[in-house]
C-alpha cells in the first residue's frame, strides 16, 4: 500500500499567552502514527496568513489528511470540531492586529462545511486512551474556524480528510481558574485520534 501523509498543524501563541498548547503537543508527535507519515507545521494566528500557509504545505507534501489543532482556553477536554462556518467575528485582535466583525471567510460561498474526519470514532478512541474528549459544534468565529472553513472549502470534493481539534490550556497557562490537560495527555489524545482515521 502506498504511504499516506497526514499534515497536522498547531498555532503560535496569541492573545497575550506565551505558549500555545496546540503546537507544543504537535511538535512532540512521532514521525509515524498508524498508517500515516506525519508532517508538522506551526501556523501563525493570523486571518491573512493561516489558511494560505496550510494550503501551501498540504499541496507540497500531498497530504491525504489535514488535522489542524488550536487552543480553546476554558474547555475541559479535547474537542474535535463538527463544523466550520463562513464567518469572521473576532473578539480580540489576531497576531497582526486584525479584528474582523461579521464578515464572511469566503464571499458567496456556502454557510458551512462539516468536518470530513471520523469525529465520533476519534472521540471514542481518545476517551478509551484515558483523555477526556467530547464533540464540539462550534469552532468559534476566530482564526481556528477560519482555517477549518477555508481548508474544507478549498479541498471540497478531493476526498481529503480534513478537520479541526481544539485543546484546553496547559497547566502552566490555566492557574487555578481554568481546566487543563498536560502536553503528554494532548499527545496521547492526538495519537489515539490519528490511529482511527
Ligand atoms: N486558537 C484560536 C486561534 C489560534 C488558536 O490556537 C481559535 O480558537 O480561533
The structural domains of the chain, with segments of one domain joined by +, span 4-195
pLDDT tens-digit map of 90-124: 999 999 999 999 999 999 999 999 999 999 999 99
Instruction: Give, for ligand 1, the residue of 11, 46, 92 to mutate: max count of ligand atoms closer than 8 Å to Cβ.
Output: 11
Which numbered atom of ligand 1 lies nearest the CA of 45? 4
Mean per-residue pLDDT, 25-29 = 98
Which residues contact ligand 1 via a Cβ below 6 A? Answer: 11, 14, 20, 22, 45, 70-72, 140, 142-144
pLDDT at 3: 86
C-alpha of residue 3 to centroid of ligand 1, in Å: 31
Residue 2 pLDDT: 62
Beta strands in 12-167 (DSSP E): 32-33, 36-43, 65-71, 79-80, 83-85, 112-114, 161-167
pTM above 0.95, yes or no: yes
Give the Å distance between the CA of 36 and the centre of ligand 1: 25
In terms of C-beta density within 10 A (0-12 exposed, 13-18 middle, 19 or more buried), how is residue 89 classed?
Answer: middle
Rounded to the nearest angstrom, the distance between the alpha carbon of 109 and the centre of ligand 1 is 22
How far is CA 95 from each of CA 16, 55, 88, rounded to the nearest angstrom? 10, 19, 15
- The atom number, within ligand 1, closest to the CA of 22 reads 6
* Residues classed as catalytic: 81, 144, 166
H or E segment and range at residue 165 = strand 161-167
pLDDT tens-digit map of 48-93: 999 999 999 999 999 999 999 999 999 999 999 999 999 999 999 9
Top-level class of domain 4-195: alpha beta
Amino acid at each position: 500500500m502506498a504511504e499516506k501523509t497526514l499534515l497536522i498543524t498547531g498555532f503560535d501563541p496569541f492573545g497575550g499567552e506565551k505558549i500555545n498548547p496546540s503546537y507544543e503537543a504537535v511538535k512532540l508527535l512521532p514521525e509515524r502514527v498508524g498508517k500515516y507519515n506525519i508532517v508538522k507545521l506551526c501556523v501563525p494566528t493570523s486571518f491573512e496568513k493561516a489558511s494560505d500557509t496550510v494550503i501551501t504545505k498540504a499541496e507540497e507534501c500531498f497530504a491525504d489528511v489535514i488535522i489542524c489543532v488550536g487552543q480553546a482556553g476554558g474547555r475541559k477536554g479535547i474537542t474535535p470540531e463538527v463544523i466550520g462556518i463562513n464567518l469572521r467575528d473576532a473578539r480580540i485582535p489576531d497576531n497582526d492586529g486584525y479584528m474582523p466583525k461579521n464578515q464572511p471567510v469566503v464571499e458567496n460561498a456556502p454557510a458551512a462545511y462539516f468536518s470530513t474526519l471520523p469525529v465520533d470514532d476519534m472521540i471514542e478512541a481518545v476517551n478509551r486512551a484515558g483523555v477526556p474528549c467530547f464533540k464540539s459544534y462550534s469552532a468559534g468565529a476566530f482564526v481556528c474556524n477560519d482555517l477549518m472553513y477555508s481548508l474544507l472549502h478549498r479541498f471540497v470534493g478531493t476526498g481529503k480528510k480534513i478537520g479541526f481539534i481544539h485543546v484546553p490550556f496547559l497547566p502552566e497557562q490555566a492557574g487555578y481558574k481554568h481546566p487543563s490537560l498536560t502536553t503528554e495527555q494532548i499527545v496521547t489524545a492526538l495519537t489515539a485520534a490519528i490511529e482511527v482515521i
